[in-house]
Amino acid sequence: MKKTILGVLFSSLLSLSLLAQQDTELYLTGISTTDGKLTFGTPRNVSNNEGYNNQPSFNDNDRLLFASTRENQTDIAQYDIQTDAVKWLTDTKDGSEYSPTKMPNAASFSSIRLDTDGLQRLYVYPLEGGDSKIAVEDAKIGYHVWYSETILVATVLVENRMDLLVFNLEKKTNKVLQENVGRSLHNIPNTELVSFISVANDTLVVKSIHPITGTQETLIGLPQGTQDICWLPDGSILTGLQNYLLRFNPKNDTQWKDIFQFSDTNIYTISRLTVSPDGKKLAFVTDISPPKLIDKQMEDFSKKDLTAFTSYFSENVIISNFPKDTLYTGRDNLRNYYKDFYTRIQKVEAKALDRIHLNNTVIDHEQVIMDDKTKLQAVIYQFKGGAIESMSFIPKTKANETEVEKIVQQQLDTYNARDIEGFLATYTQDIEIYNYGGELRSKGIDALRAGYTDFFESTPDLHCEIENRIVLGNKVIDHEQVTANGNTFSVIAIYEVENGKIAKVTFVR
C-alpha cells in the first residue's frame, strides 16, 4: 500500500568538504498560495550545465546566485529570471568559489573561496565586477549568513566537524555559539533570530538562536535523509525529501507535512532550497536523475574511459549476478576488473534498448558489443547518495519469449479480473515470491492462494497497468502501477518462467 514519504527511512551523511562534488542541477519554480495551501509551478532547469550547480541564494526577487563548474573550476553565476540568462560573476584562476550570499545593504556578495594553495576563506565581491577582499582572515568557514552589515553567523570547520560562530567584523571578535552543526543557516523572517541545524548522535535538529544573546530554541527534528531547509515569509519551513516538499510551521504544527510531489522524473533528490524575498519563487538543487547517470556511465564505458566510468559507482559498490550471486565488492575491485576487460577487448559499445525506472532503481535491457560479439542482458542498477551502490546482471537465457510473455500476460489478466483459480493456474505448485535482495515472502501455491483469495474478494477496484515491459529469455520484467482500495502505487516485478508456468517472482519497490 502507498505510504507517506515520512515513513521511509534514509541514512543521513553530513558533508563537511566543499570538494565533495556531484553532478547536480538547479531548478526554479513559482509558488502560489490559496487559502493557506501552497502550490508549485512547473520547475525549469536554470543551470543547464554539465557538472556541479549548487548552493543557490536570491540576490533579489529577479536574480539568483549559485555556484557552478566550468573549465575545471567552480565560479559564481547569476541567473536573471526575467531574461532567462546566466552571467558569470567570478573567474578566479587560483581558486574556486562557493556559497554566494547577497551582502546586506550593499551591491556586493560574499562567497567561500577555496584556493589552489589549500586555504579556504570568506571573500566579498562587487556584483558588477572588481577586486575582491577578504571578509574573515583566520577562519575556515564552511557556510554563512549575514545577520547585519557587520555581524556574520557562520560554520567553521574544526577537525572533523563544523561549529557555529558569530563574528563581529567591526570589533574583530568572534564567539562559539554551538559545536557540531550542519550546513543550513538562515535568517528567520520577521525575527531577530537565525536558524541552524544541530547535529548529535546522527540526528539533525532545526534550532533557532539569537546571535547576540545566544538564546536557543529547538524547533523540529529533520526527517532522515534531509539536511537542508529554507524559510517562507509566513514563518514556516520547507525541506525536500526525494522529490517531495515537506512543510512545518512552528506556530501550529507538531510534525512535518507532505505538501507536494514533483512529477518531473528529472527531480530526483531535492537538497539546497531557497525562497525569493517576496516568497513567490523557490529555487532548489537536485542530483542528476539515475537514468541520466546511467546514460553517462554507459557513454564513458563505451569510450573505455576507466576513470570516468568507475566514478559513477559508490566506494562499496556490490557487483552481482541476479538474484544474489555476489561477484565482487568495492570500486577498487571494479576498476581492476574493467582495467583487465579493456586490455582484452579492443572495441566495446553498450546501449540501452529499453529501460524501467522506479525511485532509486533503474533496470536496463542492454545490448553490449565486444569486438565481434554481441550480448543481450538486463542490468539492475540501484542508487544511493547519487552513486550506483549495486549492479546486478541478468543474462539472456534460451527460451520461447512469445510463450514466456503469454503466460505472464495471462497472469495479469486474471489478476485484474480477480479470478483466483485462473490466476493460480499460471504458477507452478512450488512458486516462490521474493523481495529484491533475497528475502522469501511466500513459497508454494497454497500460500499464494491464502494470500490472494481474501485480497481479491475485498478489493473491488483492484487493477494493474503495465508502464513498461522487458522480455529477456525466460524472464519478464514489468513496471506495474497497481490500484487497490483507492490507493495507487508502483512496483517492479521480475517473473521467471519454467516449463510454461511462473516459477519465481521478485518484487523491487
* pLDDT band at residue 303 using 50, 70 and 90 as cut-offs: very high
* pLDDT band at residue 22 using 50, 70 and 90 as cut-offs: confident
pLDDT, tens digit, 9 for 90 and up, residues 165-175? 999 999 999 99
295 and 284 in a common domain = no
131 and 55 in a common domain = yes
Q: pLDDT value at position 3?
A: 32
Listed residues 342, 372, 395: the one ending a domain: 395
Q: Cβ distance 393 to 379 under 8 Å?
A: yes
DSSP 6: G
44 and 140 in a common domain = yes
Residue 433, domain member (yes or no): yes
Q: Is beta strand 313-321 parallel, antiparallel or unpaired with respect to 387-395?
A: parallel
Residue indicated by cell numbers 503495465: 466
348 and 312 in a common domain = yes
Q: pLDDT value at position 16?
A: 35
* pLDDT band at residue 239 using 50, 70 and 90 as cut-offs: very high
| Rounded mean pLDDT, 100-118 | 93
227 and 145 in a common domain = yes
Q: pLDDT value at position 19?
A: 39
| Residues 377, 394: Cα–Cα separation, whole Å | 6
* pLDDT band at residue 21 using 50, 70 and 90 as cut-offs: low
469 and 385 in a common domain = no
445 and 314 in a common domain = no
Listed residues 256, 288, 320: the one ending a domain: 288
C-alpha grid cell, residue 266: 528529472
165 and 41 in a common domain = yes
Residue 307 has pLDDT above 90, yes or no: yes
Q: pLDDT value at position 50?
A: 85
Residue 162 has pLDDT above 80, yes or no: yes
304 and 168 in a common domain = no
Burial class of residue 263 (count of CB atoms within 10 Å of its CB; 0-12, 13-18, 19+): exposed
Weakest-pLDDT range from 228-232, 286-290, 342-346:
286-290
Buried b vs exposed e over 91-128: b needs ≥16 C-beta within 10 Å?
Answer: ebeebbbbbbbbbeeeebbbbbbbeeeeebbbbbbebe
Residue 297, domain member (yes or no): yes
pLDDT, tens digit, 9 for 90 and up, residues 476-508? 999 999 999 999 999 999 999 999 999 999 999
Give the mean pLDDT of the chain: 93
pLDDT, tens digit, 9 for 90 and up, residues 370-391? 999 999 999 999 998 789 999 9
463 and 446 in a common domain = yes
* pLDDT band at residue 201 using 50, 70 and 90 as cut-offs: confident
Residue 135, domain member (yes or no): yes
| Rounded mean pLDDT, 287-315 | 94
Burial class of residue 21 (count of CB atoms within 10 Å of its CB; 0-12, 13-18, 19+): middle
Residue 64, domain member (yes or no): yes
Q: Is beta strand 427-435 parallel, antiparallel or unpaired with respect to 439-443?
A: antiparallel
Residue 278, domain member (yes or no): yes
Domain that holds residue 243: 5-13+23-288
pLDDT, tens digit, 9 for 90 and up, residues 250-263? 999 999 999 999 98
Residue 63 has pLDDT above 60, yes or no: yes
265 and 303 in a common domain = no
**CATH number of the structural domain spanning residue 470:** 3.10.450.50
**CATH number of the structural domain spanning residue 36:** 2.120.10.30
Residue 228, domain member (yes or no): yes
* pLDDT band at residue 200 using 50, 70 and 90 as cut-offs: confident
Residue 5 has pLDDT above 70, yes or no: no
Residue 20 has pLDDT above 60, yes or no: no
Listed residues 288, 308, 342: the one ending a domain: 288
Q: pLDDT value at position 2?
A: 29
Q: How many domains does the chain have?
A: 3
Residue 18 has pLDDT above 70, yes or no: no
246 and 220 in a common domain = yes
Residue 338, domain member (yes or no): yes
pLDDT, tens digit, 9 for 90 and up, residues 394-435? 999 999 999 999 999 999 999 999 999 999 999 999 999 999
Residue 18, domain member (yes or no): no
Residue 186 has pLDDT above 50, yes or no: yes
Residue 120 has pLDDT above 90, yes or no: yes
Q: How many Cβ atoms from other residues are within 10 Å of residue 13's Cβ? A: 11
Query: Model's pTM, two decimal places?
Result: 0.77
